[in-house]
Amino acid sequence: MGFFQSLGRSGLRLCHMIGSIALFIVLSLRWCLIPPFYGRQIVRQLIDVGYYSLPVVGLTTLFSGMVLALQSYTGFARFSAEDTVATVVVLSVTRELGPVLAGLMVAGRVGASIAAEIGNYARY
Number of other CB atoms surrounding residue 72 within 10 Å:
19
pLDDT average, residue stretch 36-43? 88
Q: What is the predicted pLDDT for the residue at 36?
A: 87
Sequence spans of domains, the chain: 1-34, 39-124
pLDDT tens-digit series, residues 72-94: 999 999 999 889 999 999 999 89
pLDDT in tens, 3-12: 989 999 999 9
Q: What is the DSSP string of 37-74?
A: P-HHHHHHHHHHHTGGGHHHHHHHHHHHHHHHHHHHHH
pLDDT at 123 over 80: no
Q: What is the mean pLDDT of the chain?
A: 91
The pLDDT > 70 percentage for the chain reads 98
pLDDT value at 38 more than 90: no
CB 93 within 8 A of CB 61: yes
Cα separation, 124 vs 116, in Å, equals 18
> Is the overall model pTM greater than 0.95, yes or no?
no
